[in-house]
Amino acid sequence: MYVKICGMTTVEAAKEAAYAGADFIGFVFAPSKRQLTPEKAAAISKEMPSSVKKVGVFVNETKNAIIETAETAGLDVIQLHGDESASFAESLPFPVIKAFRMGKHDTSEIRSYPCHYYLIDSPKGPNRGGNGTTFDWTRLADAGLDPRKTILAGGLNPVNVQSAISIAKPAGVDVSSGVETDGAKDLKKINQFINNAKMKG
């Protein structure tokens, strides 16, 4: 089970995620309370072991800006959270995670999109992602998507992640606000989430 901890803003939280066994950490470069500069992301990336892939989250950004940010921040993967076309994704010289909101896209559209992973998020909330709300996980299990390419997001936390995995059967899970306390990453919750997702505790 792959685990992605998104919305990283501190070296301390990223190190905790890496220590606990996270596979991906995410940096938000789109407008958000968790947005950070490429330079700040680079400082965190330098502290990460090579086993942890660094993901940059972008919303309707230009190709040149994405590549420039990726090179500065030391990114391994690009996550597209906007209205980016299939041809745009194919043009990027990085592996791509494409975010889709459950029920907002036809499954054939999702399946045909050229990406390494589909990140399936909740359709609820005002933002493109990071709304911290769940959806009926059986809908993902029944969607006919390749489970080896599917990452489940939306409202996950240390308490519900095992149930979500058993129902939706994704390849990975993504969390941000679910491992925070008062808007900041909580080291204990990061550890609990990763252990529970990977069934280590």
Q: Which one of the listed residues 6, 23, 76, 115 is annotated catalytic?
A: 6
In this structure, the number of other CB atoms found within 10 A of the CB of residue 28 comes to: 25
CA distance readout (Å), 190 to 33, 124, 142 = 19, 24, 29
Domain count, the chain: 1
67 vs 73: CA distance, rounded Å:
10
105 vs 88: CA distance, rounded Å:
18
Whether 174 is catalytic: no
pLDDT at residue 128, as a whole number: 52
Whether 115 is catalytic: no
**CATH number of the domain encompassing residue 152:** 3.20.20.70
What are the residues whose beta carbons fall under 8 Å from the beta carbon of 69, sequence distance 6 or more?
Answer: 29, 38, 56, 58, 61, 75
Q: Which one of the listed residues 23, 76, 115, 121 is annotated catalytic?
A: 121
pLDDT at residue 201, as a whole number: 42
Q: For 122-157, write each residue's pLDDT tens digit.
A: 876 555 545 567 888 998 888 899 999 999 999 999
DSSP per-residue letters across 29-40: -SSSTTB--HHH
Instruction: Supply the pTM of this predicted model.
Output: 0.93
47 lies in which domain range? 2-197
- Cβ atoms of 140 and 150 within 8 Å: the answer is yes
